Amino acid sequence: MSAALCALAFSAMAAEPPDAPNDELDALTLADQAPDAPAAAAQRWRAYLEGAGFSRRLGADPDAKAAGRASLDARFDGTLTPGLRLVLSDRLDLMRDNADPAIDSVNTVREAYLSWSVSDSQTLDLGRVNVRHGAAMGYNPTDWFKTGALRGVVSPDPAALRENRQGTVVLQGQQLWPAGGLTLTLSPRLERVRDDDTFAFDAGATNARNRWLLAGSLKIAEGWTPEVLLHGAEGSSPQLGFNLSTLAGDAVVVYGEATFGKGPSLVDQALQTGGRDRMQRRASLGLTYTTPFNLSLTVEAQYASAAPDRSQWNALPSIAAAAPLQLLSVAGDLQDLPARRGAFVYATWKDAFVRRLDLSAFVRQELETDSREQWLELRHRWDRFDLAAQVLVHSGDAGSVYRSIPQRRSLELSLRYYL
Amino acid sequence: MFERLRLHRRRALARLAAFALCGMAAVPAAFAAPDAQALLAASDAVRNPSRPFSVTVNLLEYRNARQTDNNTLSVYSKADPNGGQFNTLIRFVAPQRDANKLLLKNGNDLWFYDPASQASIRLSPQQRLLGQASNGDVVTANLARDYQASWLAEEDVVDGERTTRHCHKLGLAASSPDVTYHRVEMWIEVGSARPVKARFFAQSGHLLKTAFYRKFQPQLGRERPTEVVIIDGLDPAWVTVMRYSDWALREVPDAWLQRDFLPRFKPE
């Protein structure tokens, strides 16, 4: 009886046409009118042309120097026969720069390798591969193959540095299991000397020594897949590395990365003083928080025992006037920290303020002499064009680490066209 | 205007009468609420094929009635035999600047992979790669695995085709802190278990988005929604249309669904 009454009552309600907010009806009308998208097939290649004008202030020179750049960036990833894949990736930066020292034109063969899938879980790669490891955002101690890999720096954005670098010639095999994988990378010595010619293959930059890397990852629990790495190189002690990242709630990713092993100090490497190898520890520990409006903010603590502390840095000019610059040059080549302790803050905001405007920025603060590198980029995306403006500033007291970099400030405006 | 007021008054009276009648006849055995969790699972089965499959998703985004973005994705999805939740691999197809980037959801792990830098980056559920659509919107998800459902009412709602549908209204509470939405209201058609409409809420209680499931077509063995219209909770003029096409049953090897495989992924 009561059920019948309820049913009667609810059916009386149901007989009334329900309300739908006008906003919802408008949205549905918009969806009705949305055009059918043409079927898009996955492209095997991606290429763009980029033109840029930039100005930079060097050293004590009060005048900024103007320069220009034209770039062609292309990547091909195709299947030749079932199971056999060819990857080619190259970037050419043609520079017009009258400053002293000038930035040279450079072509970077980022990747050129064949990959053979023996099965879904077994793969062999042969050729120049951008071998990359590391969970951190700003400083990757386990990314051993970054050493010597930068032929030119178009942007100091860590994401761009990871992309625009020369791969290492390797033979690499990977075996995967449902809960993890094991990768062995063998990199032979091909050439001892670097070659800075624009179109040089430059094997001396990445393949100057015999090297190997064994990397294994294992899912030990939901959300926990640590990676353990062992790296060896001719004339160096083995290095042990760890990577881990995990979630802390729905908006925070926490990560850590560390390496341990005997090696030279950065001062010994830069000044070739032949000091004794010591146990060196390098680490990054950080978190990325994403706000409800999609701004991602990363805060990272960085440490490298091989890098100079404050007193070691301050003693450099007494060894040689050019010693600070030499150390910065070697640190840049190794992509290692120039000072022992650092902090890194990185922000990315897609669709910041207005639609299709992306904001990226970072501050690298070294904590030994209290100097910093600051970078900001605004990028507006159209369907085939990007217009970007980026500014880089090095600041700190005279004689501090980042203030010693010759380039004080630079401003670049670039236009990219996707072919 | 007066007609609308009269309509509201009539409806309010009808509701009052209904509750009064129910109150008078309040006998426990008389009204047993349906099994909300089973309804939610049945609705999941309408949206998601039970066997491994691939589908193409086209996302059209509108601001103030003007199209502002257009993304195409290839989605490969497979239910995890242990947990029942879907593991999904997404390849960005268009626009060209994003071509061949990958998004992997394995359990609660979300990984983004850019072939240009060979970097696999862990994402949190909050991080959105596709404008308004969250990563959780584009991957296949069994809501019954991540939410505790409770039956709220039976009521009529206007569906995405502007037809009135008689629906179960369910309240979904997140059963894990890692999911994209804290709370969901969902309308599921009585009888067919079709998802009709959903409203997604943040922990603060504010409405994040409203979704309409529409254009039901026979795909992979049953009628499934081939379009989802998403309306932003704060800015109703921000609308995303998600269209599903090229459904196909296909093998999705377990090896594809882990981080270490991302640099290897080559579906052709």
pLDDT attached to residue B107: 77
Please say if the pLDDT value at position A218 is more than 90. yes
Q: What is the dihedral of CA A53, A57, A61, A65, to 10 degrees?
A: 0
Per the domain annotation, does B25 fall within a domain?
Answer: no
Give me the phi and psi of B96, to 5 degrees please: -65, -30
Distance from CA of A201 to the nearest CA of B (A): 19
**Of A187, A68, A25, A159, which is closest to residue B117 (Cα–Cα)?**
A159
Per the domain annotation, does B141 fall within a domain?
Answer: yes
Q: How far is CA B77 from CA A168, A359, B48, B105, B263, in A?
A: 34, 32, 9, 9, 18
Mean pLDDT of chain B: 84
- Rg of the Cα atoms in chain A: 26
Per the domain annotation, does B2 fall within a domain?
Answer: no
pLDDT attached to residue A383: 84
Contact criterion met (CB below 8 Å) for A310 and A369:
yes
**Of B145, B174, B149, which is closest to residue B85 (Cα–Cα)?**
B145
Q: Does A180 touch chain B (CB under 8 A)?
A: yes
Higher per-residue confidence, A214 vs B85: A214
Pairwise CB contact (< 8 Å): B127 & A120:
no
CB neighbour burial string for A237-246, b if at least 16 within 10 angstroms, e if fewer:
eebebbbbbb
How far apart, in Å, do the first and last CA atoms of chain A sit?
72
Pairwise CB contact (< 8 Å): A381 & B93:
no
Question: What whole-number distance in Å separates Cα of residue B112 and Cα of residue B121?
Answer: 5
The string of pLDDT tens digits covering residues B200-229 is 998 889 998 999 999 999 999 999 999 999
With a CB cutoff of 8 Å and minimum separation 6, the contacts of B246 are A39, B54, B55, B56
Question: What whole-number distance in Å separates Cα of residue B261 and Cα of residue A375?
Answer: 33
Please say if the pLDDT value at position B17 is more than 50. no
Overall domain count for chain B: 1
Q: Which of B96, B104, B111 to mutate to test the interface with A (most CBs of A within 10 A)?
A: B96
Please say if the pLDDT value at position B151 is more than 70. yes
Distance from CA of B16 to the nearest CA of A (A): 9
Pairwise CB contact (< 8 Å): B229 & A5:
no
Provide the pLDDT confidence category of residue B80 given band limits of 50, 70 and 90.
Answer: confident
Question: What whole-number distance in Å separates Cα of residue A352 and Cα of residue A332?
Answer: 31
Distance from CA of A112 to the nearest CA of B (A): 13
Per the domain annotation, does B8 fall within a domain?
Answer: no
Pairwise CB contact (< 8 Å): B116 & A75:
yes
Distance from CA of A76 to the nearest CA of B (A): 10
Distance from CA of B242 to the nearest CA of A (A): 9
Q: Which residues of A touch B180 (CB under 8 A)?
A: 250
Contact criterion met (CB below 8 Å) for B54 and B75:
yes
Return the minimum-mean-pLDDT range out of A331-340, A359-368, B132-141: B132-141
For residue B85, the domain's CATH number is 2.50.20.10
Per the domain annotation, does B207 fall within a domain?
Answer: yes
**Of B152, B166, B193, B151, which is closest to residue A16 (Cα–Cα)?**
B166
By Cβ distance, the residue of B27, B126, B231 closest to A27 is B231
Pairwise CB contact (< 8 Å): B17 & A12:
yes
Per the domain annotation, does B15 fall within a domain?
Answer: no
pLDDT attached to residue B106: 84
Per the domain annotation, does B98 fall within a domain?
Answer: yes
pLDDT attached to residue A7: 44
Distance from CA of A349 to the nearest CA of B (A): 10
Pairwise CB contact (< 8 Å): A85 & B22:
no
Q: Which of B124, B207, B250, B251 to mutate to test the interface with A (most CBs of A within 10 A)?
A: B124
Pairwise CB contact (< 8 Å): B178 & A246:
no
Pairwise CB contact (< 8 Å): B93 & A41:
yes
**Of B116, B108, B65, B58, which is closest to residue B88 (Cα–Cα)?**
B108
Question: What whole-number distance in Å separates Cα of residue A347 and Cα of residue A296?
Answer: 6
Contact criterion met (CB below 8 Å) for A324 and A339:
no
By Cβ distance, the residue of A6, A34, A131 closest to B60 is A34
With a CB cutoff of 8 Å and minimum separation 6, the contacts of A105 are A92, A93, A94, A95, A198
What percent of chain B has pLDDT above 70? 84
Question: Token digits for A407?
Answer: 């380039």
In chain B, the residue whose alpha carbon lies closest to the alpha carbon of A416 is B97
Pairing between β-strand A211-218 and β-strand A180-187 as defined by DSSP bridges: antiparallel
Question: What whole-number distance in Å separates Cα of residue A85 and Cα of residue A156?
Answer: 31
Please say if the pLDDT value at position B132 is more than 70. no
pLDDT attached to residue B145: 87
Beta bridge partners of B248: B54
A134 phi-psi bin (left φ>0, alpha ψ -120 to 50, beta other): left
**Of A352, A418, A339, A404, which is closest to residue A379 (Cα–Cα)?**
A352
Q: How many residues does chain B have?
A: 268
Q: Which of A8, A24, A113, A383 to mutate to test the interface with B (most CBs of B within 10 A)?
A: A24
Interval A20-42 mean pLDDT: 80
What percent of chain A has pLDDT above 70? 94
Contact criterion met (CB below 8 Å) for A275 and A125:
no
Pairwise CB contact (< 8 Å): A181 & B241:
no
Query: CB pairs below 8 Å between A and B: how many?
Result: 243
Predicted complex ipTM = 0.86
Question: What whole-number distance in Å separates Cα of residue B36 and Cα of residue B49?
Answer: 21
Please say if the pLDDT value at position B267 is more than 80. no
Pairwise CB contact (< 8 Å): B14 & A381:
no
Pairing between β-strand A84-97 and β-strand A65-81 as defined by DSSP bridges: antiparallel
The string of pLDDT tens digits covering residues B53-69 is 999 999 999 988 888 88
**Residue B93 is part of which domain span?**
36-264
The string of pLDDT tens digits covering residues A348-400 is 998 898 888 999 999 999 999 999 999 999 999 998 999 999 999 999 999 99
Q: Does A331 touch chain B (CB under 8 A)?
A: no
Burial of B185 (C-beta count, 10 Å sphere; 0-12/13-18/19+): middle
Per the domain annotation, does B245 fall within a domain?
Answer: yes
Pairwise CB contact (< 8 Å): B241 & A34:
yes
Contact criterion met (CB below 8 Å) for B255 and A123:
no
CB neighbour burial string for A113-133, b if at least 16 within 10 angstroms, e if fewer:
bebebeeebebebebbbbbbb
pLDDT attached to residue A52: 97
